[in-house]
Amino acid sequence: MEAVAELPFEMGMIYEGERIRGPDMYVELGGPKVKYKAELTQSREASEIEDGLVKVIGPDLSEMEEGGRYNFGILMEVAGEKIEKDLEAVLERRIHEFCNYVEGFMHLNQRYDIWCRVGKKAYGKGLTSLKFLGMALVKLFKAELPIIEKIQFTFITDESEVVEFHSRALEIYKARDARARELKDEDVDEFYGCVLCQSFAPTHVCTVTPTRIALCGAITWFDARAASRVDPKGPNFPIPKGDLLDEVRGEYSGINDVTKEKSLGEVERVYLHSIFDHPHTSCGCFESIAFYIPEVDGIGIVPRDFQGEAVNGLAFSAMATQAGGGKQSHGFLGMAIEYMRSPKFLQADGGWERIVWLPSQTKEAVLDSIPEEMRDKVLTENDVNNISDLKDKLIEVEHPVVNRWEEEPEEAGEERDLEAPVMELPGEMVGLPAGSGVRIILENARIHADRVILKKEGK
Ligand code: SF4
Ligand code: ZN
């Protein structure tokens, strides 16, 4: 923890886990209630940067309404002899970490999905301008990453400027992802890992391969490689492949060894391309969740920005509790949207032939990657909104998952619920006081319910 004389707050790792709840927030910047938000790091020539400069385009914090929600852009520009284009994405990802070092400021998610809050207390203590946040970030970035020789920040809150910035940022993210798509896992000698999110999820280890972008959707194999080269002591590191133990599931002895070591023994095996048995762990910043639907033996997908309930009656936030926290959750997987474009997308589980439901907007975004014969069979919220209609509709469109119903379980001679997920529920959900620390784990449980309804108290 460090007190900085000219800044009206303290900063340090100690504040990383700090959450600012609705009633405690002064303003919200980005987040699910506004449409335009993005953060972007760009490398520049040294002559193009005024080191330490922080600009605010649009209303600053003191000009905002208390309780308001605003479109928001963060542009970070850097220069340095060792700074290359490949480093932009990983430097950009550290904005999340360093913003959270600031007392009274919260930053969630990444890229086009950032969600920040300024706390009332912090505002009262003097955090009345984004310039202070920028000054803190300049200091933190330069202290942690000496390769940055010059750095400047621009915060954008002016609505039309954010709209323009947002669309420019989307183009740049797209180009980064497209570049990684040209490579296959077989073309490279090593994969890369990331443990940046261990501050929130201590047993979480990301493995990034050419066909599996990190679940936050912000770090490709190229990005992680560049970062591990220039900052070997940082959160990114090489993962030797070791032996390929299972080609279809994507299990490598090298990934298992490194994950075991970095998760402090908690996670021993990882399948890169399955949501069952030993799925990749999920921290909290996944762009979407793949979830098993036992009633139809299929898989649904819900992205973070989907408002409302998925076909199983659960909202993204309810399932995020199952998937996240650095655990391996059989039947739940946090993943990037870009992973749906991977040639190995959940290949061990049947790939697109196993996907029964995803929201129309996401389907549209990844349509080119869905095999043509599956495009009419993967259903959306416009086709069906509950499990019993889902069954009928899958029969109607002749979804390949229907063939699995006949084969299992009798013919296969095994119990279907070998693949039933383990449900872990916070104690609050069964009436224990919030924060009681009690979690209810239902392992191998057989529960029949036509519908599960979760309601907030008082609604
Ligand atoms: Fe790193 Fe994974 Fe967190 Fe992305 S989700 S920042 S790759 S640990
Ligand atoms: Zn994370």
Span 433-452, average pLDDT:
50
- For residues 352, 353, 356 and 359, what is the CA-based torsion angle, rounded to 10 degrees? 20
- Please work out whether the CB of residue 285 comes within 6 Å of at least one atom of ligand 1: yes
Kindly give the distance from the C-alpha atom of residue 214 to the centroid of ligand 1, in angstroms, as a whole number. Answer: 6
* pLDDT higher than threshold 50 for residue 444: no
Span 211-215, average pLDDT:
97
Kindly give the distance from the C-alpha atom of residue 235 to the centroid of ligand 1, in angstroms, as a whole number. Answer: 9
Report yes or no on whether pTM surpasses 0.85. Answer: no
End-to-end CA distance of the chain: 41
Directed axis angle between helix 88-99 and helix 130-144, to 10°? 120
Q: Which ligand is nearest to the CA of 96?
A: 1
- The enclosing H or E element of 339 equals none
230 versus 287: which is more confidently predicted?
Answer: 287
- Compute the distance between CA of residue 181 and CA of residue 316 in angstroms, rounded to an integer: 27
Task: Determine the atom of ligand 1 nearest the C-alpha atom of 208.
Answer: 7
pLDDT for the residue numbered 199: 86
- Please work out whether the CB of residue 283 comes within 6 Å of at least one atom of ligand 1: yes
Establish whether domains 2-180 and 183-282 are of one fold.
Answer: no
pLDDT for the residue numbered 408: 54
Range in 39-43, 124-128, 231-235, 379-383 the model is least confident about: 231-235
The residue to mutate among 216, 236, 258, 288, having the most atoms of ligand 1 within 8 angstroms of its beta carbon, is: 216
**Percent of the chain that is helix, strand, coil (3-state, to 5):** 35, 20, 45
Which CATH number is 287-323+350-459's, of 3.40.50.150, 3.40.50.1110, 3.40.50.300, 3.40.1470.10?
3.40.1470.10
Pairing of strands 10-11, 2-3: antiparallel
Q: Does domain 183-282 have CATH number 3.60.21.10?
A: no
Both structure tokens of 345: 């997308």
Is residue 68 within 8 Å of 22, Cβ to Cβ? no
Task: Determine the atom of ligand 1 nearest the C-alpha atom of 218.
Answer: 4
The residue to mutate among 108, 221, 285, 338, having the most atoms of ligand 1 within 8 angstroms of its beta carbon, is: 285
Both structure tokens of 161: 């400027």
Is residue 274 within 8 Å of 230, Cβ to Cβ? no
- The enclosing H or E element of 209 equals none
- Compute the distance between CA of residue 139 and CA of residue 148 in angstroms, rounded to an integer: 11
* pLDDT higher than threshold 90 for residue 162: yes
Rounded percentage of the chain residues whose pLDDT exceeds 90: 82
Backbone phi, psi, residue 42, to 5°: -130, 140
Task: Determine the atom of ligand 1 nearest the C-alpha atom of 236.
Answer: 1
* pLDDT higher than threshold 70 for residue 77: yes
- Please work out whether the CB of residue 108 comes within 6 Å of at least one atom of ligand 1: no
DSSP state at residue 65: P
3 state DSSP class of 218: coil
Greatest alpha-carbon span in the chain: 72
Q: pLDDT category, 428, cuts 50, 70, 90?
A: very low
Kindly give the distance from the C-alpha atom of residue 286 to the centroid of ligand 2, in angstroms, as a whole number. Answer: 7
- Compute the distance between CA of residue 145 and CA of residue 129 in angstroms, rounded to an integer: 25
CA-closest residue to ligand 1 atom 5: 216
pLDDT, one tens digit per residue, over 338-380 is 999 999 999 999 999 999 999 999 999 999 999 999 999 999 9
pLDDT for the residue numbered 2: 45
Nearest to 162 by CA among 34, 56, 38, 32: 38
Task: Determine the atom of ligand 1 nearest the C-alpha atom of 214.
Answer: 7
Nearest to 115 by CA among 93, 135, 96: 96
Q: pLDDT category, 415, cuts 50, 70, 90?
A: very low
CA atoms within 13 A on the CB side of 217: 25
Backbone phi, psi, residue 315, to 5°: -85, 165
Q: Provide the 10 A C-beta neighbour count for residue 52.
A: 14
pLDDT, one tens digit per residue, over 305-328 is 999 999 999 999 999 998 999 999
Cα 352 from chain centre: 21
CATH architecture of 2-180: 2-Layer Sandwich (3.30)
Q: H/E/C letters for each residue in 394-437?
A: HHHCCCCHHHHHHHCCCCCCCCHHHHCCCEEEEHHHHCCCCCCC
pLDDT for the residue numbered 180: 86
Domain ranges of the chain: 2-180, 183-282, 287-323+350-459
The residue to mutate among 176, 208, 215, having the most atoms of ligand 1 within 8 angstroms of its beta carbon, is: 215
Q: Provide the 10 A C-beta neighbour count for residue 448.
A: 5
pLDDT for the residue numbered 453: 53
* pLDDT higher than threshold 90 for residue 440: no
